[in-house]
Amino acid sequence: MIEILNISNLSVTPKNAPNRLLVSNISFKLSAGKTTCIVGESGSGKSLTALSVMGLLSRQLQAQGSINFQGQELTKLDKKALQRIRGAKIGMIFQEPMTSLNPVLTVGYQIGESLTAHLGLKNAALKTKIAALLTQVGIPSERADSYPDELSGGQRQRVMIAMAIACEPLLLIADEPTTALDVTVQAQILKLLDELKTRMNMAMLFITHDFGVVADIADDVIVMFRGEIVETGSRNQVLNNPQHPYTKALLACVPDIEGKKELKPIDYAWLKTGLKEDKAAA
């Protein structure tokens, strides 16, 4: 397998409080043609990890450690060098497309920005590529002249996907791209992303808190809790034979199709004790 991304000992801290770890010494690798899901509750550090890869952390935060993308150390690059990689070699689907898209610009214009910046496309060639991308994600090409508020939630999400894959990146980061969608549209988006990953042989980092999504799309799984990676493994290993108390607690919260399973909310008092016992045993 071709290694695309290698993250080693990545930590994220506030600049004014460098001892306060928001993401703590995490390490993992991504390979071409494979989907790795990061799963965990809100605040576990999933999005901060993705934003660190993109070099898009807020000015109040800083990343330490190694983010190696195809032999390039991203943490050492200046803004201009990062801009040449973002959108061209690494694409990202952000959360909440209605707030990520500019409401006063057409979706076609917004898709075309990266095509012009990275590929130099203009005029007829640009329009042709925009139309092809919209068609590829299941939107009629004539909707290029539409504004975001003229599209449904599912269509806006597809526009975000078209923007992210416009330059055929080697790595696609999808940050909870189906959270606000109904079940039918969610299934369509997941199928589309999986098809695009296979067709383009991309590495995909998929961020979610939904184990149902993990079961559908993941090759490998990373479980995060309070800024740390607590468990990693293949989809089957993590879903069918979880080892960490937090992973077990998360899976206990997932309902079954027949509705017969007794759902158990996470007992954080017990979990805290269990984590201490695990560290002591190690």
Distance CA 235, CA 55 (A): 28
Distance CA 246, CA 271 (A): 7
CA distances from 4 to 77, 163, 213 (A): 17, 21, 23
Q: What is the pLDDT of residues 99-157, one digit of tens each?
A: 789 999 999 999 999 999 999 999 999 999 999 999 988 899 999 999 999 998 888 98
Torsions phi, psi for 241 (to 5 deg)? -145, 60
pLDDT above 90 (res 20): yes
Q: Which domains does the chain have, with CATH numbers?
A: 3-89+169-241 (3.40.50.300), 102-166 (no CATH)
Torsions phi, psi for 218 (to 5 deg)? -80, 145
| 204 or 280, higher pLDDT | 204
Percent of the chain with pLDDT over 90: 66
Q: How many CB atoms lie within 10 A of CB 39?
A: 24
Pairing of strands 3-14, 23-31: antiparallel
* pTM (predicted TM-score): 0.89
| 45 or 278, higher pLDDT | 45
